[in-house]
Chains A and B, each alone.
Chain A
Amino acid sequence: MPETTFNADKIRAIDPKIRRQKLFRWIGKIAAYAVLTAGAVIMVYPLLYVVMASFYTAKEFNESVLGLFPVAKEPTIDNFKMLFMVGLDTATLGYYTNSILRTLYTTSFSCLSALLGGYVFARLQFKRKEALFLCMLATQMIPGILSVLPMYLQLRAMNLYDTWGVYLLLGGGALNVMGTFLVRQTLEELPISIEEAAKVDGANTACIIFRIVLPMVKTIMIYLVITGAIGVWNDWTTPFYYTESQSLQTIPSALTRLTAFAGKEGQLMDYPLILSFSLLVTVPSVVIFFIFQKHIVRGLMSAGIKG
């Protein structure tokens, strides 16, 4: 239908049906922004609360009325000094170091396991490979709670209960099935030519895995390192079930022992102290998350596509 642009534009601008469509679209966008922003505020609020409340001294916290947005009238940064290991008592310093050591150790092993496993399943062929992979996946379907009590009994029998052996044994032994799955998927879509060339040049397997394959899967490895580290950092169950002494506790398990399972009817809890512990657990995770959010979001979505 021949139209001169001139008339058509004028008609579009005036045509009530099109104006109505544009209005709906505009309203839709505003509504979307509103919902997403409201949700974002709700998501962040508890964190915000922890941060704001950490500016309080214990005295002021228990005595003032407090609202939903606690702003301290006598702010102190004593609780924040905890984050930077300033002026900590020995117990808390111990928790902090234990958390860091545990995270480094466990994350290294779990990512190594994912890299090696992913390589083996993606690049090597052997009989019953898929059956083995299926078995590995099957173990993931079994809830962790089944193993907690037996693990406790086993550790007692091995005389490892309440020792560093707990972290050493458990931290290194986890087969990172999800990680292996992701590395395998990523690797299978990448060409094998570089590795073949290296093999022809006489490179051994270790060299191939760490010098050639590792850079190829860098993005997914970063995702695994970050999510693995956050997972171990937040984990309170292993120290809680399998150790007792204060010197072995990590920050989250110390917090759990301080607050959970205990009958606390009527006790006046030292909330700012508890909150600074909470801060200590949560802030590093959130900071790391913010720095690496692109990798995390990308990795999560690729896990969804391949899952």
Chain B
Amino acid sequence: MKAGSIEQRKKKRGWTDPKRALVILAPMILWWFLAAGFPMLFGFVLGFFEWRGINPQPKFIWFENFVTFFKNSLYREILWRTIWLGVVTTAGTVLCGFGAALLMNMPLKGRGAFRSLWYIPAVTSTVAISQVIQIMIDPFNGVLTRIFNANGWTPINFVDSATWGYIVIIFYSIWKGVGGSALLWLAGLQCIDASLYEAAEMDGANTFQKFLHITLPGLRPIVTYIVITGIIGALQIYEPVAFITNGGPQNGTMVLALKIVKDGFFNFNFGMAGASSLILAIIIFVCSASYYLFSKRRANDA
């Protein structure tokens, strides 16, 4: 029954033309393969070799790199830190974005201006903005240090402390992500049928009840998307750490993506870098796939 109408809809939508599709897509896919696909495949296998860049012959060592990864406390620490930093950052961004979206959804003058202003951090470059942060917290000549000294207080050394490093990194990530998150939540909020609110008001619901029974359920489709894409992005956190703390005092704030770069480009330990990348990729893929399956099942229920 449904199949019949889908067939009809498909016929209405376009024409069956595999040759044309091939002509257009083939060059794009080929070029992609050369510029991105092949390295990706290569990346999957790099971890299975011992390759230190100095000896040009990579040696196939099965899972040794992976075993090293999980046996070595530094790597385990880094993995754990990447995960909890990712969760905290995502939670912060998503919640603040949600709050902001609720406010922006109110009939206020200038909400368009607020939406744009809140989104500005997203278009800035982390390299550029972290310069401002460095200027502020530099222990020798930074702005905050100078203010502290001028007032006779002992300056806090932000650079020597992993805790302060976390605080700055988390704050920066939320600062950057809130605008985009708010816009996504806004999109979800505006999809909720306004007449539901009117009906509830006529039945005597107050603001809190409307929120609980209309807003929250209405947002369910978009919650998964926002949270999962947030976590996937946050697990790969790299720029803020690299430019603010550079891994922090003695690897105190090191995260996985940065460690991979350091292993590969600065220590030339290609095998280990490859193994770490693969582990990170698997974790992220599991998250994405779960989201995809979860949302498909939801769509089938609906």
Contacts and interface: CB of A to CB of B under 8 A. Distances in A.
A142 B16 contact: no
Interface in B197-233: 222, 225-226, 229, 232
B285 interface: yes
Interface in A92-139: 113, 116-117, 119-120, 122-127, 129, 132, 139
Nearest to A204: B20
The secondary structure that dominates the A interface is helix
B10 A301 contact: no
A1 interface: no
A98 to B, nearest CB: 15
Contacts of B141: 62, 268-269
Interface string A149-191: 1111110000000000000011011110000000000001000
A289 B16 contact: no
A172 B35 contact: yes
A43 B114 CA distance: 10
B94 interface: no
A255 B127 contact: yes
Nearest to B232: A141
Interface string A250-281: 00100110011100011011010011011101
B261 A175 contact: no
Contact of B124 (A46, A65, A296, A305): A46
B14 A230 contact: no
Interface in A62-97: 62, 65-68, 70
Contact of B38 (A113, A123, A142, A154): A154
Interface stretch (B25-33, B59-67, B70-78): B25-33
B273 interface: yes
B108 A255 contact: no
Contacts of A39: 100, 114, 118, 178
Given A150-B43, A297-B112, 4 more contacts: A119-B24, A154-B39, A173-B32, A285-B125
Interface of B: 10, 12-18, 20-22, 24-25, 28-29, 31-32, 34-40, 42-44, 46, 99-100, 103-104, 106, 108, 112-121, 123-125, 127-129, 131-135, 138, 140-141, 143, 146-147, 150, 175, 178-180, 183-184, 186-188, 190-191, 222, 225-226, 229, 232, 235-236, 238, 242-243, 246, 257, 260-261, 264-265, 270, 273-274, 277-278, 280-281, 284-285, 288-289
29 contacts: A28-B106, A32-B103, A36-B108, A36-B114, A39-B100, A46-B124, A50-B128, A124-B17, A125-B15, A125-B18, A139-B36, A139-B40, A146-B277, A146-B278, A150-B40, A150-B274, A153-B270, A154-B39, A205-B24, A260-B246, A271-B135, A275-B135, A278-B129, A278-B132, A301-B184, A301-B190, A304-B187, A305-B188, A305-B222
